Amino acid sequence: MATQAIRPVRKLDERHLARQRWARAGWVYGAMLALAVFFIGPFYVAFLGSLKDNPLEWPFRYSFAQTQPKNWAAAWRLGQLGAGNPWTGGFAPGAEIPFQISYFLEEGQEPEPPTVTVPTRRAGAGLGAIFDEVQAAQYAQVSEVQEVNRRPAVVGGRPGQIVTYAFTIRYPKGDATANQPTVPRLPLDVEAPRGQQYYAATLDPNRLERRGRVASWDSVTPGFFGYVFRNYVRVFNEARDPNTGASFFLRWTANSFFVSLAVVLTTLLFASLGGYALARMYLPGKNYLFAFIVFSMTVPSQATFISNYLVLRDLGLLGSLWGMIVWSAVGAGAVFIMKQFFESIPREIEEAALMDGATPVTTFFRIILPMAAPALGALTILTFQGMWNEFFKAAVVLSGQQASYTLPLGLSFFRSAYGVAGDWGLMLASAFLSMIPIIILFVVFQRYFVEGVSTSALKG
């Protein structure tokens, strides 16, 4: 719209033209803002989804329990009360948690106090099922439920009243010899007779079950993170190695860093050596070699992976991160970029060095490589990003060895482990967590990303 609007308007006066220019800039910014929403919007709504108890709820809400400051404050305070830990909560000896819940009753219905229980909750599916959690049900004592308040109200157009009940959950402190662990969470079920409609509570429940009759909390002492970033905390807590108990997700992150950094190092070294030789040194048949390298870049990796898989198998590198590193040690694309770069720098400098009698090896490491810093920077970023995101090679080499997974494979593992149960909160949370390092890298080095793409592509 904006571009079409610029016409040679010779008869318009200056004031008109200035007005047009300003308005045009406004429209362009508007368009760019709309595009930014288009590219970032999906990630924003997915992030909202990752905070929800049920990311697939219908209709989609932008405002829900986890986004409400009221619940943030309550979660913080309850975490503090439960175990003196406002961040991740818990349930420690001596804790005393006052709790209130309100129900709406239509006119003519007699209020009846709900039944409060601290249930035994074991994860039934996914990796959480592996570990026997200490259960709060063993230690918690629920006081009698008392009605504290009644007030008339109209909800959804129906007249009636709102009745509030209060109760306290205690963790009685035994004598010093008693073995009383701090329990990680305090689940709660509050069941009301049919017809009483849940209205509000100290902390909003994670879900309403049995058609609204049971309000259910995963923990009423969650702490801020435990409530708002519940799914994110679960990524670390649930996905653990059954033999060692170590967090899978941290392990995968470390693996991803290890593989990416190792490949960056080998690529920088081998690609700059190779690129320099191709750009500057005398070698018969060099052009044919270069043409062949370019050809190799167009052959899909699916056409060569079978043999590579077998080679790595014979080397005993399957299921090992080293297998990934060896397979990706240096790519034709990286050599290509370095060759292009070395061709663009002036020849005189190295010739002077060679005149002084330095060998090509010293010249290369002392003079050429330091000059190549910008190209190496771009190559580092591209290689790191490529390896961090690499899925195909990981799927071929690391399949089945959970402790050696990299993050992309870990995500696909979560997808299959939690997909059947439709546990989208955990899958989305793990996807966002896996993005953090690459986002940081991108924000810091965005120039390199953007330049790396356009230069390497245009020179091809």
Structure tokens at 227: 């409530």
Site string for other proteins, 59-78 (x = CB under 8 A): xx------------------
Report if residue 109 touches other proteins, rule: CB under 8 A. no
Is residue 313 within 8 A of residue 374, CB to CB? The reply is no
DSSP calls for 312-332: HHHTT-TTSHHHHHHHHS--H
Query: What is the rounded distance in angstroms from the CA atom of residue 283 to the CA atom of residue 275?
Result: 13
DSSP calls for 186-234: --EEEE--TTPEEEEESS--SEEETTTTEEEES-SS-HHHHHHTHHHHH
Report if residue 8 touches other proteins, rule: CB under 8 A. yes
First to last CA, the chain: 33
Q: Which of 140, 278, 337, 378 binds other proteins (CB under 8 A)?
A: 278
Q: Which residues contact 29 (CB under 8 A, 6 or more apart)?
A: none
Name the segment binding other proteins (CB under 8 A); options: 54-62, 66-74, 89-97, 257-265.
54-62
Report, in Å, the least distance between residue 158 CB and other proteins.
19
Q: Which residues inside 239-258 make contact with other proteins, applying CB under 8 A?
A: 242-243
Q: Which residues inside 286-345 make contact with other proteins, applying CB under 8 A?
A: 286, 293, 296, 298-311, 313, 318-319, 327, 329-330, 332, 335
Minimal CA–CA distance to 95: which of 173, 167, 165, 166? 173
Site string for other proteins, 10-49 (x = CB under 8 A): -xx---x--xx-xxxxxxxx-xx--xx--xx-xx-xx--x
Is residue 142 within 8 A of residue 169, CB to CB? The reply is yes
Report, in Å, the least distance between residue 452 CB and other proteins.
10
Structure tokens at 20: 């047009």
Q: Which residues inside 350-409 make contact with other proteins, applying CB under 8 A?
A: 359-361, 364, 385, 388-389, 391-392, 395-396, 399-400, 402, 407-409
- Residue identified by tokens 């195909």 is 392
Name the segment binding other proteins (CB under 8 A); options: 103-111, 144-152, 156-164, 209-217.
209-217
Q: Which residues inside 420-459 make contact with other proteins, applying CB under 8 A?
A: 420-424, 427-428, 430-432, 434-435, 438-439, 442, 446, 449-450, 453-455, 457-458
Is residue 238 within 8 A of residue 213, CB to CB? The reply is no
Name the segment binding other proteins (CB under 8 A); options: 69-77, 91-99, 170-178, 276-284.
276-284
Q: Which residues inside 133-192 make contact with other proteins, applying CB under 8 A?
A: 189, 191
Query: What is the rounded distance in angstroms from the CA atom of residue 258 to the CA atom of residue 62?
Result: 38
**Paired strand residues for 146:** 166
Query: What is the rounded distance in angstroms from the CA atom of residue 40 to the CA atom of residue 33?
Result: 10
Q: Using the minimum distance from each CB to other proteins, give the nearer residue, 85 or 185.
A: 185
Report, in Å, the least distance between residue 151 CB and other proteins.
29
Q: Using the minimum distance from each CB to other proteins, give the nearer residue, 172 or 212.
A: 212
